[in-house]
Structures are given as C-alpha cells and as structure tokens.
Chain A
C-alpha cells in the first residue's frame, strides 16, 4: 500500500511523522531494526533520498540510531519514546480542543461524547 501525503508539508517530514507513529504505537519496538532505506522507500513509493532524509530526521528526534553493519534500530531509551509520545498526545489533544471549542460546546458534554465513543 502506498502512503498518502498532503500538499503543504515537506514529504520527508510526513514520512518521519508516519514512522514515528509506528514506533510510538509499538509497531516497531525498542531495539528492533527498521527496514533498509531502499525497502522502506519502495514500501512507501517514495524516492530513496527522501526516505534517507526522513531517517536523518528521526535520528535527530532521537527515535532511531545507526549501528554499523546492522542498520537502523529503534532507540532503547524508553525516556525518549515516552517524551515523544507525550508530545504527540498533547498536540493531538490541542488540535481536538481547538476544533471542539470552536463549536462552543460545554466541557461536560464533550467529555460525555468522548466517553461514549471511546470503546468503538
């Protein structure tokens, strides 16, 4: 399945965000090795150089590291993953709040709908 990208953000950032999500959700676990740049590029149907840049971005975020002769691995530093996870949850929550508050809805009502929909 090819990955979808939106128009405004650089593609390498969107790829990095997507792989970050895979790491945060546990699809790629701590210490697990990632596919090669080339394989990942084919999987996402993107240019290998763009994928390379996304990997550098993830290295800069501290989520992955390069081990010689092995390749790229997900960080074993649980604190980094936790920090990224918290940031992600916060940014999603703020987005949600922005939209829901624009409707002038009461907090109790919003929480009620949230609870009702949490399970499904």
Chain B
C-alpha cells in the first residue's frame, strides 16, 4: 500500500459558512505536495483536520491506515500558521522541549540545521526577527522523523532569499518515505520543489495533479494556471 493519507467525504461548517465540502484525497508516500488556494479557501481548516486539531462534521481521515487520533499525532509533524512558542524561552530550550515531547525528534539534526541557518541558540525567542522565528519553528518541525509533515504557510513571512533557504531545508531534511504537504499562495516560489499540487477553491478540491503533468499537457506553470483558475 503506497497511500499515506486518505481523506473521505470531508465536510466542515463554521456556523453558516461551509469551510470544506466533499473533500476526497489520496496522497502517496514520498511526495512533496502543494496545497494551493486563495485566502479563505479552506487550506488551514483541512490541515488542522488532518493534524487532529479540528473535527470534521462529516467524513474520515486515515494516515498510514490509522484513523486520525492521538496516535497519529505521534507520526504527524505539524507547523502551524502562527507562532505558538513561548517567547521567553531560549532557542536551545525549545529544542530540548521538543526532544522531550517527541520520540522521533532528532536533536543533533535540529542543532545542525540551526547552525546552517545561522541562528544563535542562546537567543530568547522574543529577540528573534520574524524570519528567524519562522526558521526555528520549521527546524523544530523538520527535525522529527515523521511520516507526514503538514506545513501551513512555511514561507509566508520571509524574504525571497530566505524562502529558498527554507525550501532547501525542507527538501534536504524530509525523510524519504514520508510525505510533505505545504500550504501556500506563494506558488512561483514553491513550484520547483513540488511533486504534485492540489487546488482548493471555496472548500472544494478542484484539481490534483503533478507539476510536470500540467506543464506537459497545458504548457503552463502552476503559477500561471493558478491565476487562470482563480481569476477574480
């Protein structure tokens, strides 16, 4: 079985707003997948349901054959959109915290990545720039040897040079058999690292295919195609 993530008929409503409708997905192992859609299209809701932080109103999610539960959290590594770390902690203390918390955390890898990214591990979190905070959080998430990585807007707040750095960190550190889902609207930046992409529009999946398939069949980049599909 090569499927890592299966979503069946997912539906989620927020009072009167339909956030997700009839979402069906099958994602394979060993892929980097872009979850692409405009603001408010349901990207974060979907990721939170897969991460086990939100409950769908209808439908089911299976990760490596297991229904989403406390157990799946042990092999799903999730990067939230917002900073959730304690501002008064020092960088190395957050590494220790993660290492205590997750069995699959590779402390050496974390320190190596932080060094490569030029981050002073003795600085307090609140004294880091926005870009540095994002880097540290990404390092913490990528240092786990997880089966599934869920990265919600990992490059949202950083400059283009840092984006490339972060994408390289992702490409060079994800475990071979695992799958990475990256949600973003900065498509041109992530396109070259993606195997496949998913277009989500008003809570529904409108397309799932590989980047090179699209280029072969339509002769356009994902970025150009996105502009066409989501034209206002």
Interface residues of A (CB under 8 A from B): 2, 5, 7-12, 38, 41-42, 44-50, 53
Shortest distance between the CB of A48 and any CB in chain B (Å): 7
B168's partner among A7, A11, A45, A50 (CB-CB below 8 A) is: A45
> B31 to A7, Cβ gap below 8 A?
no
In the assembled complex, the Cα of A11 lies from the Cα of B30 at a distance in Å of 18
16 pairs across A/B with beta carbons < 8 Å?
A7-B221, A8-B221, A9-B215, A11-B192, A11-B211, A12-B212, A41-B172, A42-B168, A42-B171, A45-B192, A46-B192, A46-B193, A47-B192, A49-B30, A49-B31, A50-B195
Most B CB atoms within 10 A — which of A9, A42, A50?
A50
Name the B residues within 8 Å of A8 (CB-CB).
215, 219-221
Name the B residues within 8 Å of A50 (CB-CB).
192, 195, 211-212
Size band of the B side of the interface?
20 to 34
> A46 to B171, Cβ gap below 8 A?
yes
Name the A residues within 8 Å of B193 (CB-CB).
45-47
Interface residues of B (CB under 8 A from A): 30-32, 164, 167-168, 171-172, 191-195, 211-212, 215-216, 219-221, 223-224
Shortest distance between the CB of A105 and any CB in chain B (Å): 31
Name the B residues within 8 Å of A42 (CB-CB).
168, 171-172
> A45 to B167, Cβ gap below 8 A?
yes
How many A-B contacts are there with CB distance less than 8 Å?
Answer: 55
Shortest distance between the CB of A3 and any CB in chain B (Å): 8
In the assembled complex, the Cα of A3 lies from the Cα of B146 at a distance in Å of 29
A47 and B194 in contact (CB under 8 A), knowing A2-B164, A42-B171? Answer: yes
In the assembled complex, the Cα of A53 lies from the Cα of B194 at a distance in Å of 13
Most B CB atoms within 10 A — which of A2, A5, A47?
A47
Chain B, Cβ-Cβ closest to A3:
B192
In the assembled complex, the Cα of A38 lies from the Cα of B168 at a distance in Å of 11
> B224 to A7, Cβ gap below 8 A?
yes
Chain A, Cβ-Cβ closest to B164:
A2
Name the A residues within 8 Å of B223 (CB-CB).
7
B172's partner among A2, A11, A38 (CB-CB below 8 A) is: A38
A11 and B171 in contact (CB under 8 A), knowing A47-B32, A49-B30? Answer: no
Name the A residues within 8 Å of B221 (CB-CB).
7-8
In the assembled complex, the Cα of A46 lies from the Cα of B193 at a distance in Å of 4
In the assembled complex, the Cα of A50 lies from the Cα of B167 at a distance in Å of 15
Name the A residues within 8 Å of B172 (CB-CB).
38, 41-42
In the assembled complex, the Cα of A7 lies from the Cα of B188 at a distance in Å of 10
In the assembled complex, the Cα of A12 lies from the Cα of B32 at a distance in Å of 15
Name the B residues within 8 Å of A48 (CB-CB).
171
Shortest distance between the CB of B154 and any CB in chain A (Å): 15
> B220 to A47, Cβ gap below 8 A?
no
> B32 to A10, Cβ gap below 8 A?
no
> B192 to A53, Cβ gap below 8 A?
no
Name the A residues within 8 Å of B220 (CB-CB).
7-8
